[in-house]
A and B are shown apart, each in its own frame.
Chain A
Amino acid sequence: DTAVSQTPKYLVTQMGNDKSIKCEQNLGHDTMYWYKQDSKKFLKIMFSYNNKELIINETVPNRFSPKSPDKAHLNLHINSLELGDSAVYFCASSQQGSGNTIYFGEGSWLTVV
């Protein structure tokens, strides 16, 4: 059983399109995250939700909109895709508490052409 699963794993799309990446965790965690990893492997937090409420919202273009319908899901919607959005997007989850491990999904490889 996959603990944190995200779909699709690969996505190639044209500039200007709108796309969504879905994420689900079956670990019973109360906190979920979206991270972006660029081509140099640099990992940057984008959003964090705790019990469906947004708690971290880094400087991210407002074309990116997270949605958490329940504690087990955190989807990422991206409007008007740009070339610079090409990256790997990782969903993750944890139980609230600084010492708790964050568990990552396998990543969604987004390529904007």
Chain B
Amino acid sequence: GNSVTQMEGPVTLSEEAFLTINCTYTATGYPSLFWYVQYPGEGLQLLLKATKADDKGSNKGFEATYRKETTSFHLEKGSVQVSDSAVYFCALSVDNDMRFGAGTRLTVKP
């Protein structure tokens, strides 16, 4: 079946630190990969996506590269801000079936 595994949180960083949140996937077929972000009290918003191998998605300083050989889509940001504090979800989509990882809570301290 289709599934996503992402690193467990919570993750706590100081402002301007480097962020990596690991995500690996299992899929029957050729998935598209996504990162969504959920700020407190809100719904999920698309952060970035990649639809084929070696594609790099990027947005707001975040980026992730679709690695077919390692079935991974790790999220990175070079310098996090307090405003990046949120829950981050890795997801895959195959044939309209979108599956989410368990979410990783990020807290950035000033």
Interface residues of A (CB under 8 A from B): 4, 31, 33, 35, 40-43, 45, 48, 50, 55-56, 90, 92, 94, 96-107
Contacts of B51 in A (CB 8 A): 98-99
Q: Are B96 and A94 in contact (CB under 8 A)?
A: yes
Is B44 touching A104 in the complex (CB atoms < 8 A)?
yes
A-B contact count (CB 8 A): 65
Q: Are A31 and B96 interface neighbours, CB within 8 A?
A: yes
Indicate if the CB atoms of B103 and A43 lie closer than 8 Å. Answer: yes
Nearest 6 CB-CB pairings of A with B: A99-B51, A104-B43, A99-B32, A41-B103, A43-B100, A104-B44
Chain B positions 75 through 110: 1 when the CB is less than 8 Å from some CB of chain A, otherwise 0: 000000000000101000111111110110100000
- Residues of A near B100 (CB, < 8 A) are 35, 43, 45
Q: Are B93 and A99 in contact (CB under 8 A)?
A: yes
Residue of chain B at shortest CB distance from A105: B43
- For chain B, what secondary structure do more than half of its interface residues adopt (helix, strand, loop), or is it mixed? strand
Given contacts A98-B29, A102-B98, A104-B36, 4 further A-B pairs with CB under 8 A are A41-B87, A56-B97, A98-B31, A101-B49
Can you report 18 A-B residue pairs in the complex whose CB atoms are below 8 A from each other? A4-B43, A31-B96, A41-B105, A42-B102, A43-B89, A45-B97, A48-B96, A90-B44, A98-B30, A98-B93, A98-B94, A98-B96, A99-B32, A102-B46, A102-B93, A104-B36, A105-B43, A106-B42
**Considering the chains assembled together, what is the distance between the CA atoms of A107 and B89 in angstroms?**
16
Which of B43, B46, B87 gathers most chain A CB within 10 Å? Answer: B43
